[in-house]
């Protein structure tokens, strides 16, 4: 099983590619892509379309998964929400299963951990550290992929 996990932020896209199982995950790739100018919405949507297709074509995932921001601010709509419509359309066109997770669903139980476990620290213990950009945002893309293994 190969899962592509995505987390969108203003000005950047984080992705992680995992293989294996929930108990034995393997990090195949991860990265941070800087977007085009968020003020030029048509060009930005074209950029997301191209990047999503390139990531899917190069990693050939069995599933897609992303972190969904609830109650986004107006400026976040163009960078964090509208692109997810494009991603869902591409998933539909390619017949790829797609899932989303919100911050409320980032619970340790999804990984079989005790209720008080720190899932971000758990990422480090399972995968090690992978700089650059090995931060909470990168781990969000990793976790949504991991939840789907």
Where exactly are the structural domains of the chain?
A: 2-148
CATH architecture of 2-148: 2-Layer Sandwich (3.30)
Q: Which residues pair with 17 in a beta bridge?
A: 4, 29
**If you search the block for the tokens 């869902």, which residue do you land on?**
88
| Arithmetic mean of pLDDT, 18-43 | 96
How does residue 74 score in pLDDT terms, banded at 50, 70 and 90?
A: confident
Rounded distance, CA 104 to CA 148, Å? 16
pLDDT at 98 exceeding the cut of 90:
yes
| Residue 134 confidence (pLDDT) | 96
Q: pTM, whole model, 2 decimals?
A: 0.96
111 Cβ partners below 8 Å, 6+ apart? 22, 117, 119, 122, 146, 147
Could you report how far apart the first and last alpha carbons of the chain are, in Å?
A: 7
| Residue 71 confidence (pLDDT) | 83
pLDDT at 24 exceeding the cut of 90:
yes
DSSP one-letter string for 24-81: SEEEEEEEEEE-S-TT-HHHHHHHHHHHHHHHHHHH--SEEEEEPPSS--HHHIIIII
**Residues counted in the chain:** 149
How does residue 55 score in pLDDT terms, banded at 50, 70 and 90?
A: very high
| Arithmetic mean of pLDDT, 7-27 | 97
Rounded distance, CA 140 to CA 105, Å? 11
Give the number of C-alpha atoms closer than 13 A to the C-alpha of residue 38, restricted to the C-beta side.
Answer: 17
């Amino acid at each position: 099983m190969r899962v592509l996990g995505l987390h969108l932020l203003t000005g950047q896209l984080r992705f992680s590619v995992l293989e294996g199982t929930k108990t034995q995950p393997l990090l195949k790739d991860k990265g941070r892509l800087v977007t085009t100018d968020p003020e030029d919405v048509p060009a930005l949507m074209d950029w997301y379309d191209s990047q999503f297709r390139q990531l899917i074509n190069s990693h050939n995932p069995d599933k897609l998964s992303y972190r969904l921001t609830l109650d986004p601010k107006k400026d976040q709509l163009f960078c964090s929400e509208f692109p997810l419509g494009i991603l869902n359309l591409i998933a539909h066109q390619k017949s790829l299963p797609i899932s989303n997770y919100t911050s409320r669903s980032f619970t340790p139980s999804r990984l079989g951990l005790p209720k008080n476990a720190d899932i971000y620290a758990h990422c480090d213990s399972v995968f090690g550290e992978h700089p650059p950009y090995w931060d909470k945002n990168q781990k969000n893309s990793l976790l949504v992929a991991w939840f789907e293994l």
